[in-house]
């Protein structure tokens, strides 16, 4: 059972949607956020990255930064940049990237379902990042940016969403990166009831992107619950805002690896050791074409690595992932990278940057780069279903959700 609830969103006037919509807080640094928001007082980066409104050099975790984010959100509401929906609604959020299109439902999801593993995760979170987002949620009293969830597609839900999308969208913008973003408001209580009922039959939801945002919302719920004398389970803090997409519409891109040195090996020694676990051949193209194969850019040339039979357990949903195969058979034993989360000798490059970025990194001084075959949604859900965790940097979802088009403020 998956609970979805309508809510009264705060959202921009149609003519301001393009100015308000911003990239998520976690895909840019402070300097990039300053540049993107420059000259635009309506950019939602003033809420998600409020350090841009403080003197340069201020710690982004300073108390003044969190207070500024809350102040900016209140200002957006007071000035009418964001207005309050007059009744609880669901929303359809569609994204278009080239020929790829995906459409999800924006709603409130259950904190208790997350606690009971009915909303499943596949990544570890970092406490410092959890602490940061929890402060933002607490200070602002809001889910300023949605979590990105997925579920095994249900044809009945698809049909309802398709009917909604035949109407005129409230927003239809193209952001500077060329991605189209459209939003439809579902106000009809019958349609809302149908969708809520259909989702009651969905056994589980899965976090695709936004593990730290989810963890922050759950920590906020738990703190508020503990401070409530007789909680009923129906309090606003028991829910958090998410966009819920069917799994067969989502696009996971490759998440590639670059390593700075060969761990003391000569190029000949490195290739010899790699050849013990992988078949090596010249690559007709940089990107691998199937599971179990890798592109390797080394000494100015692309090679194709194919994992040898018996080098990994095919029945293990984690160990059989390409990111695990590379880690367990090459990065750790040959290049000495035991913990890719903390080792500064390895860097990760999202597939949106292309193969040219990998070549550039090596040509600029890195030792070797590896192009990965994208992890599949079915693989992600299989890992989550077993309660296991994927290796770090296993998935890169595109396109990214835009922040500020729909905001949830907790209403007590």
Q: pLDDT tens digit string along 176-207?
A: 999 999 999 999 999 999 999 999 999 999 99
Mark whether 291 and 232 lie in a shared domain.
no
Q: Judging by DSSP bridges, how do beta strands 119-120 and 205-209 pair with one another?
A: parallel
> Do 247 and 287 belong to one domain?
no
Kindly state whether residues 227 and 324 are assigned to the same domain.
no
What is the domain count for the chain? 2
pLDDT of residue 114: 97
**SS3 state of residue 324:** helix
Question: Do 210 and 83 fall into the same domain?
Answer: yes
CB of 206 closer than 8 Å to CB of 199? no
Q: Answer yes or no: is 378 within a domain.
A: no
Query: What's the whole-number mean pLDDT along residues 32-51?
Result: 97
Whether residue 245 lies inside any domain: the answer is yes
Which pLDDT value is given to residue 126? 82
Whole-structure pTM value: 0.90
> Count of alpha carbons within 13 Å of 213, Cβ hemisphere only?
23
pLDDT digits (tens, 9 = 90+) for 230-278: 999 999 999 999 999 999 999 889 999 999 999 999 999 999 999 999 9
Residues 149 and 187 reside in one and the same domain = yes
pLDDT at position 264: 98
Q: Per the domain annotation, does 384 fall within a domain? A: no
Give yes or no for a contact between 44 and 21, defined as CB atoms under 8 angstroms apart: yes
Does residue 222 sit in the same domain as residue 268?
no
Question: What residue has token string 């809510």?
Answer: 7
pLDDT at 222: 97
- Same-domain check for residues 267 and 300: yes
pLDDT at site 412 = 63
Residue 301 domain-assigned (yes or no): yes
The dihedral over CA atoms of 331, 337, 342, 343, expressed in degrees to the nearest 10, equals: -110
Would 331 be classed as within a structural domain? yes
Distances in whole angstroms, Cα of residue 128 to Cα of each of 52, 216, 298, 352: 20, 11, 35, 27
Residue 243: give the domain boundaries: 4-251+398-409
Same domain, 79 and 201: yes
pLDDT by residue (tens digit) across 76-132?
Answer: 999 999 999 999 999 999 999 999 999 999 999 999 999 999 999 998 888 899 999
Provide the percentage of residues in the chain whose pLDDT is more than 70.
Answer: 100
197 and 332 in one domain? Answer: no
390 assigned to some structural domain:
no
Residue 228: band (very low, low, confident or very high) from pLDDT cuts 50, 70, 90: very high
Asked if 58 and 183 sit in the same domain, the reply is yes
CA dist 197 → 4, 41, 191, 242, 256 (Å): 9, 41, 10, 17, 40
Q: What is the mean pLDDT of residues 138-155?
A: 97
Note whether 183 and 306 are same-domain residues. Answer: no
For residue 381, is it within any domain?
no
CA distance 360 to 166: 44
CATH number where 264 lies: 3.30.1760
Is there a single domain that holds both residue 110 and residue 225? Answer: yes
Distances (CA, A) of 104 to 110, 182, 191: 17, 11, 15
Q: In this structure, is residue 380 part of a structural domain?
A: no
């Amino acid at each position: 059972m998956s609970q979805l609830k309508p809510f009264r969103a705060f959202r921009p006037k149609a003519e301001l949607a393009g100015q308000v919509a911003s990239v998520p807080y976690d895909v840019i640094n402070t300097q990039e956020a300053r540049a993107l928001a420059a000259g635009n007082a309506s950019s939602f980066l003033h809420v998600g990255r409020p350090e841009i409104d403080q003197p340069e050099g201020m710690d982004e975790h300073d108390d003044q930064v969190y207070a500024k984010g809350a102040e900016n959100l209140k200002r957006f509401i007071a000035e009418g940049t964001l207005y309050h929906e007059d009744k609880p609604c669901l929303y359809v959020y569609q994204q278009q990237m080239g020929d790829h299109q995906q459409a999800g439902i924006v709603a409130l999801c259950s904190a208790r379902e997350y606690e009971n593993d009915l909303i499943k995760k596949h990544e570890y979170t970092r406490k410092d990042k959890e602490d940061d987002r929890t402060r933002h949620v607490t200070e602002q009293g809001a889910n300023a940016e949605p979590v990105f969830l997925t579920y095994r597609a249900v044809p009945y839900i698809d049909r309802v969403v398709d009917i909604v999308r035949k109407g005129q969208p409230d927003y239809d913008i193209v952001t500077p990166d060329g991605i189209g973003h459209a939003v439809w408001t579902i106000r009809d209580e019958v349609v809302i009831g149908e969708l809520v009922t259909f989702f009651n039959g969905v056994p589980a939801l899965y976090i695709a992107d936004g593990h730290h945002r989810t963890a922050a919302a759950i920590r906020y719920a738990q703190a508020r619950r503990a401070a409530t004398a007789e909680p009923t389970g129906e309090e606003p803090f028991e829910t958090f805002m998410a966009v819920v997409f069917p799994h067969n519409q989502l696009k996971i891109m490759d998440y590639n690896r670059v390593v700075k040195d060969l761990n003391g090996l000569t190029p000949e020694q490195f290739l010899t050791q790699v050849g013990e676990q992988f078949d090596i051949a010249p690559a007709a193209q940089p990107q691998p074409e199937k599971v179990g194969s890798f592109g390797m850019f080394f000494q100015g040339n692309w090679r194709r690595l194919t994992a040898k039979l018996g080098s990994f357990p095919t029945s293990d949903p984690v160990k059989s992932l390409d990111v695990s195969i590379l880690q367990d058979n090459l990065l750790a034993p040959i290049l000495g990278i035991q913990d890719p989360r903390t080792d500064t000798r390895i860097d990760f490059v999202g597939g949106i940057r292309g193969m040219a970025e990998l070549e550039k990194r090596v040509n600029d001084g890195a030792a070797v780069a590896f192009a990965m075959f994208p992890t599949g949604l079915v693989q992600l859900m299989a890992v989550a279903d077993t309660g296991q965790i994927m290796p770090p940097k296993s998935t890169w979802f595109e396109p990214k959700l835009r922040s500020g088009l729909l905001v949830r403020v907790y209403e007590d």
